[in-house]
Amino acid sequence: MKKLITYLTGLFLVFSPVTSYAAGGFAFGISASDNSLDTAGKEDTDNNGTIDATKTVTDDFIVGSIFAEYTNMGDKFGITLGVDYIPFDADIDKRSISQTSLGAAGASSSGTNSVEGSVEDHYTLYIQPGFMIKPSTMLYGTLGFASATVNGKSTSITHTNINQDKDLEGTKIGVGIKHVYDSGLFVKADYSQTDYDAVSFTTSNNTKATADLDNTSFAISLGKQF
């Protein structure tokens, strides 16, 4: 996907005709993004502030989204306000590990612990200040606020199971490039990173699990402005 973005960006920069079509106005479109989601997990078995276990995993996935935005253009500089919505779930793959627990009077029990999750109803409000590097090509930066719901599921032989939904919020930063054609169709290619706030899940027997998510994304967008 990274090579595809680089290739497409080079194509529309080098071979696109030089036009004077403005990059401003209302626009709608679709995006496809290649994502790498890092999840750092921590477990506090008695919720006393002491971390008993940690684990970091990475999930790679491609997801589509839809967006709407408005760009206000000056002679060289412009600013875009928009919203991007992902109408699909992104899964945090299930991970399992075998464990033996030592109970009272030396009795022991063995079993499998597992954890999994999904991110859904994800939308991002963003602002993209930019400047024209060609008559119809804009280089821009991105600053956004992301919000979603994360569902965490866990089974363990040492604590009660988890199946909870939590609000997930984060900050997105990135850079990108946009080229607009005479017809009003445009292509955007961008790179971004989203740093989400940590979310915590607490079981009925007082075990606290915390997940800290960070996402890196490479995206290609196709749209139409009016």
Q: pLDDT 10s digit of each residue in the chain, 226 long? A: 554 455 445 544 544 444 444 567 899 999 999 999 898 877 766 666 666 677 788 889 899 999 999 999 988 899 999 999 999 887 765 454 444 444 444 444 444 555 667 788 999 999 999 999 998 999 999 999 999 998 876 665 455 666 778 899 999 999 999 999 989 999 999 999 999 998 887 776 677 778 888 999 999 999 999 8
Q: Which residues of 158-192 are buried (b: 16+ CB within 10 A; e: fewer)?
A: bbeebebeeebebebebebbbbbeeeeebbbbbbb
| Cα–Cα distance, 111 to 113 (Å, whole number) | 7
Q: Which amino acid is at 219?
A: A
Contact, 190 vs 219, CB < 8 A? yes
- Name beta bridge partners: 200: 210
Q: How many residues does the chain have?
A: 226
Domain architecture of the chain: domains with CATH: 2-17+28-96+110-225 (2.40.160)
Q: What is the model's pLDDT at position 111? A: 46
Work out whether strand 162-180 and strand 185-196 pair parallel, antiparallel, or are unpaired. antiparallel
Q: What is the model's pLDDT at position 6? A: 54
